[in-house]
Amino acid sequence: MHQGRKDIAPDKAFPLTMASPGTYEVADLRGGREFTGKLLSMGVQAGKRLELITTGGCGPLMVNVEGSRIALGRGIAHRILVRNELSRRNSA
């Protein structure tokens, strides 16, 4: 399977909207408390493994977090920072 973007430095975090389908690690949530709270209650949290299923062109994205799939509007996806999961494995 696709393993994220290779042209980005391993531990650099980037917005989910820039990612191509593959598996990532959530690096940070950049938003107000309502935004973060909502994502947290749905299980999206820094350090979690996240699989991007479809990038959706200019529509919403679909991700898989712990077996549940969640649709995310682009505005939201842009504020979820992820990093390549590879980097975590390498450093571990």
Partner 1 sequence: MKSTTQYARSYRDVQTHKLPTVALIGNPNVGKTSVFNALTGSHQKVGNWPGVTVEKKEGRFTYEGQQVAMVDLPGLYSLSPYSLDERIARSFISQEQPGAVVVIVDASNLERNMYLVFELMEMGVNLVVDLNFMDEAKERGIEVNSKELSRFLGVPVVETVAFRRQGIDELKKAIVESLQAPRRPRTFPFPEKMEKFLQQTEKLIEDSCHHDIQTSSCFACGECAAPNHPVIGFPVRWVAIKLLEGDLEVNGNLLSSLPEENREVFAGHLRSLRQAVQAEYQEEPEIVVAEERYAVIHGFVKEFFHSRSTVSRRMKLTDRLDRYFCHRYLGLPIFLLLMWLTFQVTFFLGEFFEESIEGAFEVMGEAVITFFGGVGIPWLGSLLGEGVLGGIGAILVFLPNIFILFLMISILEDSGYLSRGAFVMDRLMHAIGLHGKSFIPMLLGFGCSVPGVMACRTLESERDRKLTLLVVPLMSCSARLPIFLLFTSLFFSRYQGTILFTLYLVGIISAITVAWVLRKTLFKGEVAPLIMELPIYRIPSPKNVLSESWRKSYLFLRKAGTIIFLVVVLVWLFASLPVGVEYASIDSLMGKLGEFFAPLFRPLGFGFWQASVALIFGTVAKEVVVGTLGTLFGGEAGLTEALSAYFTPVSAFSFMVFSLLYIPCVATLAAIKREAGWKWVGFAMVYLTALAYLVSLAVFQIGRLLFG
Which residues make up the interface to partner 1 (CB under 8 A)? 33-34, 36-43, 45, 53-60, 62, 65-76
Least distance (Å) from partner 1 to the CB of residue 55?
7
Question: By C-beta, is 10 or 35 nearer to partner 1?
Answer: 35
Residues with Cβ < 8 Å from 32, sequence gap 6 or more?
Answer: none
Least distance (Å) from partner 1 to the CB of residue 64?
8
- What are the C-alpha distances in Å from 56 to residues 60, 63, 64, 74? 6, 11, 14, 9
Question: By C-beta, is 8 or 71 nearer to partner 1?
Answer: 71
CA atoms of 58 and 74, how far apart (whole Å): 8
Least distance (Å) from partner 1 to the CB of residue 29?
8
- Could you tell me how far CA 22 lies from the centroid of its own chain? 10
